[in-house]
Amino acid sequence: MKPLHHLSAVALRDAFLQGEVSAVQIVEAFLERIEHHNGKLGAFLTILGPRAWMKAEALDKKRSHNQPLGKMAAIPVAIKDNMHIAGEITTCGSQFLSNYKAPFYATAVHRMEQEDAILIGKTNMDEFAMGSSNENSAFFPAHNPWNLNCVPGGSSGGSAAAVAARLALIATGSDTGGSIRQPAGFCGVVGYKPTYGRVSRYGLVAFGSSLDQIGPLGTTVADTALAMEVMGHHCPHDATSLDLPPETYPLSKKLQEGTVIGIPWQFLKGLNPEVRENFQQALEVMKSLGAHLVEVNLDILKYSIAVYYILATAEASTNLARFDGIRYGIRSKAGKTLEEIYDQSRKEGFGREVKKRIMLGTYVLSAGYQDAYYKKAQKVRTLILHAFDQAFGQCDAVMMPIATSGAFEHGSIQDPLEMYLQDIFTVPANLAGLPAISIPSGYDRRGMPLGVQIIGPQLCDVAVMQYAHAYEQASSHTRIPGNYAS
């Protein structure tokens, strides 16, 4: 049998079910990899060793007694550190919550554990999910396994790095403006953002409530599909959770006859030549599978970054008001009055990027500016929804690059506007609540991964996963970074 970290999550689960490997052996192998690599990679903030060992021993006992085992039996799963695991610390990558022990489970996480996944650690992230590079973590930055001098993307950079380096085979991420798909593209793994409401947000620390969506990152499309079958259930604790039956994700190497893929060429004008060439190669793969390509008009997406950073910061300023040093997290000892405690706790607890976004969000919601910014952004968001509806009248899915380039070096982007533009191709799916998947599509001249994304209409999660699987099987760009293969 191959080394365990060379297997997909589905293959590792099957090996365990067939008795070829024990859960204890799996945990031992992956904890050893984490201990060996995480010091330089920075993918994990917390290692859940004792918890993983206990789960592994319980799974081996269940198997020996021929008891039923779950869909994710013995698969090591990493959890982004803004999702709760009861009894474990949830930091959100912030000093503010460095002492916060979660009293309950995030629904998505609990469902995976109920299906016998092994929760192996909590992953690094930009503070409160605010960033596109993982450089905003309050503890230490995560690095890209393909080149430690480069960022892994963000905010789910730790999850993407952990899966790419095979320190875990599946990880959870949260996607507010591309925070699953962009790091997946930078690290050469698969990242999936479901239809808004398909996966419960209960137990996810909120950034932008109308935009946030939990989703999986995996080594293959089949792995992410497995995670979605487990996570994608209605949750009565989340008012935005869709009251729909769970879905299965049958995958095929072929596209359905008559599949039409839309390309928004006008929106994509000015692409980096290297990214354009890679994207065109991906389109050729889709054509070879029988897809018909058409141009669609999504030029309005040029406003999506402006709309996103108004709406997301407005929601963030409201959501983060609860962090006051009284109810949650670190309390400053400098304050004498209640107001001073609020003020000092936030000054000491929040990082620079979080403060910046709170200030911007408070500004766009303030009297005299709400009409000029927030309400206007909501109107443009509606126009973006309509533009996608019209596009999907012509095609089954839309295809775009993930980012304007491959992963950039740490510290190379100092201009905040340039950093925000890293999300230009991913933000539209969040604004419209659409399912979207990032798939590896090759490598740039430096050998860094590049990715493409497929975006579908709302509730067409199964179809999007099927398009991605067919592309993946025909292109085969999934590799383990050289330093992590052995």
| Bridge-based pairing state of the strands 260-263 and 397-401 | parallel
| Confidence at residue 77, expressed as pLDDT on a 0 to 100 scale | 98
Could you tell me the CATH number of the domain that includes residue 61? Answer: 3.90.1300.10
| Confidence at residue 476, expressed as pLDDT on a 0 to 100 scale | 81
CB-neighbour burial class of residue 147 (10 A; exposed 0-12, middle 13-18, buried 19+): middle
| Confidence at residue 332, expressed as pLDDT on a 0 to 100 scale | 87
> Running DSSP on this structure, what letter comes out for residue 479?
-
Contact 397, 454 (CB under 8 A): yes
Give residue 240's domain range.
4-258+395-484
CB-neighbour burial class of residue 247 (10 A; exposed 0-12, middle 13-18, buried 19+): middle
With respect to residue 10, please indicate whether it lies within any of the assigned structural domains: yes
| Confidence at residue 368, expressed as pLDDT on a 0 to 100 scale | 84
Catalytic annotation, residues: 80, 155, 179
| Bridge-based pairing state of the strands 76-80 and 170-174 | parallel
With respect to residue 457, please indicate whether it lies within any of the assigned structural domains: yes
Edge to edge, what strands does the sheet with 190-193 contain?
44-47, 118-123, 76-80, 170-174, 214-218, 190-193, 436-443, 449-455, 397-401, 260-263, 292-295
With respect to residue 326, please indicate whether it lies within any of the assigned structural domains: no
Contact 462, 247 (CB under 8 A): yes
| Confidence at residue 444, expressed as pLDDT on a 0 to 100 scale | 96
With respect to residue 154, please indicate whether it lies within any of the assigned structural domains: yes
Letter for the amino acid at 298?
L
Rounded distance, CA 229 to CA 9, Å? Answer: 14
What is the residue-wise DSSP string for 314-383? HHHHHHGGG-SSSSSS---SS-SSHHHHHHHHHHHHS-HHHHHHHHHHHHHHSTTTIIIIIIHHHHHHHH
Q: How many domains does the chain have?
A: 1
With respect to residue 8, please indicate whether it lies within any of the assigned structural domains: yes
With respect to residue 17, please indicate whether it lies within any of the assigned structural domains: yes
Q: Which residue ranges in the chain fall short of pLDDT 50?
A: none
With respect to residue 31, please indicate whether it lies within any of the assigned structural domains: yes
With respect to residue 384, please indicate whether it lies within any of the assigned structural domains: no
Contact 272, 448 (CB under 8 A): no
- Condensed to tens digits (0 to 9), the pLDDT of residues 100-128 reads 999 999 999 999 999 999 999 999 999 99
Letter for the amino acid at 150?
C
